[in-house]
Structure formats: C-alpha cells, structure tokens
Structure 1
Amino acid sequence: MTFIIRSTDMLNTVLGWIAGTFMGIATLAVLAQVFIRFVLPLMGMAISAPWTEELARYLMIWVVFLGVAVLSRSFRLIAVEMIVVALPERAGIGMRMLSVVICVCFFVVVATVGFGWTAMSSIETSPVLRLPMTWVYMAMPVGAVITIFNLLVFAAEILTGRRRNVEQAEIMD
C-alpha cells in the first residue's frame, strides 16, 4: 500500500508541474494576444495571431482536467465539510466514502463520454494550429481516469486509517 501511495503522490507531483507549465504557457499566449491586439495597433502595426487564442483554450482544457485529478488525490475539491465534521467519526467516514463513490460514478461517466468524443474526433484537426483534435479531447478521459484512481487511493487511505479526515490530508500533502 505504501508503494502505491508514494507512486501516486509522485505521479500527482509530476501532473501538478505539467498543469502549472500549461497554465504558464496559456498565460503567455493570452498576454501575447493582448499585446498584438491592443498595443501593436497603437504603433501602427496591424497583425493577427489567432493561434494564441486556440493554444490558450486547449491548454486550459488540459489544466482543468489535470487539476481536478491532482486535487482529488487529497480530496481538495469543492466540498461542504460542516456536516462531516459534526458527525461522529464513523458516520463522518461513511459520509466521506459516500461522496467518494458519487464522485467516482460521475468521473466514470466523464471518462466514458470523453473516450467517445476522442474516438469521434480522430479525423478532425484544429482550425488554426492544425493539431489533431484527439489530443484536445483526450484531456477529458485521461483526467477522469486519473481522478478515479486518485479517489480510490484516497478511499483506501481512509478505510485503512492512514487518513482520518481531510484536514490530515492537507497536512500530509
């Protein structure tokens, strides 16, 4: 179990760095677009850079799905903890496990839809960058599958007593 937890945490560290890098590149692309669209015309240069918008959009899609996967590892997604904390420990664990089951079911649906969209997009390319749209749509099932895996590892930690509550999860991360 320790090997799986450490491997999962290393994977999520790498994914966090990838998501951060994608976010940085998307930010630079948007800044370039703002500069090209608003600053250069003031200097008498009218050029177009449609690739910046497309690149930023596709990178942000990956950031969202990788970010959800990384945050699900420590159960740091949006949640109302007031009820879980107010319950006795066993009931709180049961409530947390119920929410994990609901999240896993949701992400199974997301992965299924994502794989379908990825398969349908195999002949498409993006309008400006001419990227295969499979790479863009693949963010959805990849992120969902990693999220499911992270949620299952988190649930295993709760059930084995490695994590008693979400506050401990934040301390351990």
Structure 2
Amino acid sequence: MAFLNPRVLAISRHASLTVASSLLLLDLAVILFGVFMRYLVGGAPIWTDELARFLIIGSVLLGAGAVWIEGGHMRVALIESLLPPRLCRILNLYQWLLTLSLAVAAAIVSYRYALSVSMFTSQGLGISRTWPMLSLPIGFALLAWHALCHGPAPLKTLTDDPT
C-alpha cells in the first residue's frame, strides 16, 4: 500500500523510467556514433565520450527512485524474512526513514555542488558543468519523492508474487 496516492506514484514511476530509458537510448546512439566516427571515419569528436558519460549518469540517477520502489535494487532481505511481523514493520520504517533522509541530504548537497561548479565548463561540450551536474540533485530528489510516496511499506523482493 502506498503512503500517498498510488496513482501519483505510478505516474511518477512511469515518467521517471521513460525519461531514464530515453537518456539511455540517446546514450547508446552517442556511443555508436563515436565508435562509427573513430573506427570507420578516422576520428571521433571529443564531445562524444563526455556526453555519453553525462547521459549514463543521468539515466541511472533518474531511474533510481522508480527501481527502488519496485525492489529492483540490490539489497539483502534475509533479515526481514526471519523477523516477527512487528519487528519487521519497525525495520521497514527504519529503512524508509534512512532512505528518505539520505536521499534528501544527498539532493541538497549535490544541488549546492552543482551550483558551485558553474564557473567551470566541460572540456568536450563547452557548457557549464552545472547543467550535467544537475542530474545528481534531480535524481536524489526523485528518489526521495518515490520513497515518500511509497511510504514505510515493505519493498518488493524477487520472491514476491508479481500479481
């Protein structure tokens, strides 16, 4: 059961995964373009490696919150299966609060960092480093949002029934 409106969570999850998948697809196109230019034409533009790096970081961070609520991230759920239901609820609350507080803190710190590097430009793209660095606070804020919407309910595991 979701903490906030389950429909809001589903829409947010779908939007995050769609944007993350689009960035990943664009990353694949940039990498293939770079490989084509390097090995078939004789030289790749310098910006392909840098753009590919920024796109992969952005896609991972934007999809992290959606993957977290699906239980698709790496975690060990052995303790949850061994605890009595009351202690398991306390553990779920602890995990939820820890995830929420770390995601909010990381969003704040990474936002400050992204703003602090505005005077520097990227080597290949020639843009302010703030723009690609904004994927960090946006990704952590989305993780916090998804955690908040999901609430302290148990996360799915690989053994859970998909229905």
Query: Which bracket does the TM-score occupy, shorter chain normalised?
Result: 0.7 to 0.9
| Structure 2 equivalent of residue 9 of structure 1 | 10
Higher deviation after alignment, 21-30 or 84-93: 84-93
In structure 2, what residue type is equivalent to 1:70? A
Q: Tell me the distance in 2 between the aligned counterparts of 1:74 and 1:95.
A: 18
| Structure 2 equivalent of residue 46 of structure 1 | 42
Q: Is the 8 A contact 1:26 1:59 kept in 2?
A: yes
DSSP 3-state at the match of 2:99 = helix
Residue 139 (str. 1) matches residue 129 (str. 2) = no
In structure 2, what residue type is equivalent to 1:20? S
Percent identity, aligned pairs only, is: 22
In structure 2, what residue type is equivalent to 1:126? S
| Structure 2 equivalent of residue 130 of structure 1 | 126
**CA deviation vs aligned residue, 1:78-137 (integer Å, no higher than 9, x gap):** 211111012122221211221122222222231122111111122333222223322211
Structure 1 residues 49 and 170: alpha-carbon distance in aligned structure 2, compared to 1, 3 A threshold: farther
Structure label with greater radius of gyration: 1
| Structure 2 equivalent of residue 171 of structure 1 | 162
Q: Tell me the distance in 2 between the aligned counterparts of 1:170 and 1:138.
A: 37
In structure 2, what residue type is equivalent to 1:63? S
| Structure 2 equivalent of residue 161 of structure 1 | none
CA RMSD of aligned residues (A): 2.4
List structure 1 runs of 4+ shifted beyond 4 angstroms.
167-170
In structure 1, what residue type is equivalent to 2:13? N
Higher deviation after alignment, 12-21 or 72-81: 72-81
- Report the TM-score when normalising by structure 1: 0.81
Q: Is the 8 A contact 2:3 2:151 kept in 1?
A: no
- Number of equivalent positions: 161
Alignment of 1:62-81 (within 5 A): 62-81=58-77
Q: Tell me the distance in 2 between the aligned counterparts of 1:5 and 1:80.
A: 25
Q: Is the 8 A contact 2:114 2:133 kept in 1?
A: yes
Q: Tell me the distance in 2 between the aligned counterparts of 1:77 and 1:101.
A: 17
Q: Tell me the distance in 2 between the aligned counterparts of 1:74 and 1:63.
A: 17
Q: Tell me the distance in 2 between the aligned counterparts of 1:9 and 1:90.
A: 28
Q: Is the 8 A contact 2:24 2:55 kept in 1?
A: yes
Q: Tell me the distance in 1 between the aligned counterparts of 2:100 and 2:52.
A: 29
DSSP 3-state at the match of 1:96 = helix
Q: Tell me the distance in 2 between the aligned counterparts of 1:165 and 1:101.
A: 13
Gaps of 5+ in 2: none
Structure 1 residues 106 and 3: alpha-carbon distance in aligned structure 2, compared to 1, 3 A threshold: closer
Structure 1 residues 101 and 24: alpha-carbon distance in aligned structure 2, compared to 1, 3 A threshold: same
- Report the TM-score when normalising by structure 2: 0.85
Which of 149, 154, 159 is 1:153 aligned to?
Answer: 149
